[in-house]
């Protein structure tokens, strides 16, 4: 069995959908289906039940999924050990915004356990660069939030979080249990510098051009609200600080936490980071 084919199988087994698995693997669906068929022929048994209701693992498929994960993990560890021996045991991670997220803490602990010889350098990026310096070569991998221009990058979703309006605690709009973006239409918003990714700007500005103070960091957003009474969008689960509050925005799609890296990057330390991040954020 080839490791590549096992990766294909694991993607299908985890997604239980050929289309989603193909998108995750950055390939089209027909060659993925053919690869799984060849693997079933090699194994001598069906691995997946395909029906109008969807895809399900057979008992043989469940066994192979456990074994395939173990083999892929071993191969990944071997690549990392070789990279470490070759003196390439440094990984630079870009983080956008709040680095106190519990998922980041779980990820750091898990990565440290599995790769104690790897030096991890962390670069906390400004809000004006959602890729955290990937395109500029400043980091190897980024923990960030979408949406942004993904050209030249590989992006894997980790989690989706609800968002709300960041307001002064005494703001009249803070009295309700929820708001719509239109409720903030006549207010000044904190906004990002000229040249910031348009997709990113549009999401965090509620889909409209805004007027207000320019910010580059999470603390600057909070201070803009506290001092000037401006408004903006932030994560609903984050503690805003004294004098501020977050009111749910009922018509905003959730914010996607993602891990991103440069397309075609075969660095085993990056591959391991992505795998461990996916597990850390499933908890």
My answer on whether 74 and 22 are in the same domain is: yes
> In terms of domains, do 104 and 234 share one?
no
Give the chain's mean pLDDT: 89
Domain that holds residue 103: 89-156+256-280
pLDDT tens digits for range 114-160: 888 888 999 999 899 999 999 888 999 999 999 999 999 999 999 99
Whole-angstrom distance, CA of residue 223 vs CA of residue 202: 21
Tally of CA atoms within 13 A in the half-sphere of 62 that contains its CB? 4
- Whether 19 and 65 map to the same domain: the answer is yes
Q: Do 9 and 39 meet the contact criterion of CB atoms below 8 Å apart?
A: yes
**Pairing status of strand 232-235 against strand 163-168:** antiparallel
| 244 and 260 belong to one structural domain | no
Q: What is the pLDDT of residues 245-283, one digit of tens each?
A: 999 999 999 999 999 999 888 788 898 899 899 888 875
Q: Which residues contact 98 (CB under 8 A, 6 or more apart)?
A: 218, 235, 238
Query: Do 180 and 137 have their domain in common?
Result: no
Contacts of 205 (CB under 8 A, 6+ apart): 189, 191, 233
Enter the pTM of the model: 0.72
What does the pLDDT look like over 233-245, one tens digit per residue? 999 987 888 999 9
Backbone angles phi, psi at 95, to 5 degrees: -125, 135
* CATH code at position 37: 1.10.10.10
Last residue of a domain, one of 66, 83, 100: 83
Question: Could you give the number of structural domains in the chain?
Answer: 3
Listed residue (158, 155, 183) closest to 249, CA to CA:
183
Please say whether the dihedral angle defined by the alpha carbons of residues 134, 151, 192 and 174, taken in this order, is positive or negative.
negative
For residue 118, the model assigns a pLDDT of: 87
What number of CA atoms fall less than 13 Å from residue 176's CA on the CB side? 11
Average pLDDT of the segment spanning 179-188: 96
Shared-domain flag, residues 56 and 168:
no
């Amino acid at each position: 069995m080839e490791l590549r084919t096992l990766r294909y199988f694991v993607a299908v087994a985890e997604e239980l959908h050929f289309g989603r698995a193909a998108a995750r693997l950055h390939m089209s669906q027909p060659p993925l289906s053919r690869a799984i068929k060849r693997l079933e022929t090699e194994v001598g048994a069906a691995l997946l039940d395909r029906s109008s209701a969807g895809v399900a693992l057979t008992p043989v498929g469940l066994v192979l999924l456990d074994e395939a994960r173990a083999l892929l993990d071993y191969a990944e560890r071997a690549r990392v050990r070789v990279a470490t021996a070759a003196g390439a045991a440094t990984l630079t991670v870009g983080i956008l915004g709040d680095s106190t997220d519990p998922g980041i803490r779980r990820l750091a602990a898990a990565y440290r356990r599995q790769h104690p010889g790897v030096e991890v350098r962390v670069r906390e990026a400004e809000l004006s660069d959602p890729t955290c310096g990937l395109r500029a070569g400043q980091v190897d991998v980024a923990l960030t939030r979408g949406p942004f221009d993904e050209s030249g990058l590989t992006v894997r979703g980790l989690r989706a979080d609800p968002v709300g309006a960041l307001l002064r605690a005494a703001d009249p709009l803070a009295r309700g249990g929820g708001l719509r973006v239109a409720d903030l239409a006549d207010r000044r918003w904190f906004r990002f510098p000229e040249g910031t990714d348009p997709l990113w700007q549009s999401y965090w500005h509620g889909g409209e051009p805004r007027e207000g103070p320019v910010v580059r960091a999470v603390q600057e957003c909070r201070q803009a609200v506290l001092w000037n009474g401006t408004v903006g969008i932030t994560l609903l689960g984050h503690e805003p600080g004294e004098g501020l509050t977050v009111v749910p925005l009922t018509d905003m799609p959730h914010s996607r936490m993602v891990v991103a890296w440069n397309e075609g990057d075969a660095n085993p330390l990056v591959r391991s980071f992505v795998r461990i991040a996916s597990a850390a954020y499933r908890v």
